[in-house]
Amino acid sequence: MTAETSAFGAGHTAPQPRGGIAQSVGDSLVIAKRNLIRMSRIPEMIIFGVIQPVMFVVLFSYVFGGSMQVGNSTDPGVYREFLMAGIFAQTVTFATAGAGAGIADDMHKGLIDRFRSLPMARGAVLTGRTLADLVQTAFTLLVLAVVALLVGWRTHTNAGKVIGAFALLLLLGYAFTWIGALIGLSVRTPEAATSGGLIWLFPVTFVSNAFVDTSQMTPWLRHVADWNPFSATVQAARELFGNPGVVDSPAWPMQHPVLASVLWSLVIIVVFRTLSVRKYRSATA
């Protein structure tokens, strides 16, 4: 008796997934709802996810604020406004590690195999998971914005541009979540997914314009930082927030940060979603 016959009864085979964009969207939303309900039943996941970025805001604002130079200024208030776009971007990208660990945990428990036996669109499980993580990230970003306002951060543009900045940040976070999904599908344990998800994030976030003025870096390192996809989104957010930032870099992403941010994020989504779905189809628990 084959595995499909034993799972669905003698003489019956596993149902095949229906095609179509509508089916894929519907399946993805069902999985997203499942993951959101699961998150709501484990509130400590959300609480700890909020505490870490809040600590970064407070520590960087008050511990390093008076010693960091932005342009020609060492004013702590200027640095706080410079800093916040970087903290926001770091927050949405660090959610990647949690996404990878969650997928690895589902793999370890055999849940992914159960989903694959159902008549679902191939990429729905991963898309639903990443959408649920995006909702959680958006909530964390909202709380973080309130904390930032309390420590003195302000925007100096209109509401449309501010919303656009947060949309770019969430787009970057969603793109990086697909990298986490691929890592989660490629390792054997949630612990390995967490470690693997953080190792590459530290150089990406710190070799950037998130926390320091890149004009203070050596030329070769500044070149790397200016072409970092993470830096493009940070610079775009600063521009849309009206916050101080470095604008004299000759690098194309720094001259056109909003366009560069969108292009980088879309490329990452296309590449890593394709790789993740391919890995999902062949992965075994």
The answer to whether the Cα torsion of 273, 183, 41, 89 is positive or negative is negative
Q: Which domain holds residue 238?
A: 20-282
Is 7 domain-assigned?
Answer: no
* Res. 243: pLDDT tops 50: yes
Is 109 domain-assigned?
Answer: yes
pLDDT mean over 108-112 = 69
Q: Which two tokens stand for residue 31?
A: 């999985």
Is 272 domain-assigned?
Answer: yes
Cβ neighbours around 239 below 10 Å, total: 20
Q: What is the pLDDT of residue 20?
A: 64
Tell me the per-residue pLDDT of 196-226, one tens digit each, with 9 for 90 and over.
778 888 899 999 988 888 888 888 999 999 9
Is 128 domain-assigned?
Answer: yes
C-alpha distances in angstroms, 135 versus 88, 91, 231? 15, 13, 23
Is 172 domain-assigned?
Answer: yes
Is 14 domain-assigned?
Answer: no
% of the chain residues with pLDDT over 90:
27
Tell me the per-residue pLDDT of 116-171, one tens digit each, with 9 for 90 and over.
667 777 677 888 888 888 888 898 899 889 888 888 888 989 999 999 999 999 99
Backbone angles phi, psi at 89, to 5 degrees: -65, -40
Cβ neighbours around 156 below 10 Å, total: 11
**Count of structural domains within the chain:** 1
pTM higher than 0.85 = no
Q: What is the pLDDT of residue 247?
A: 67
DSSP code of residue 18: P
Is 13 domain-assigned?
Answer: no
Is 6 domain-assigned?
Answer: no
Q: Cβ distance 121 to 29 under 8 Å?
A: no
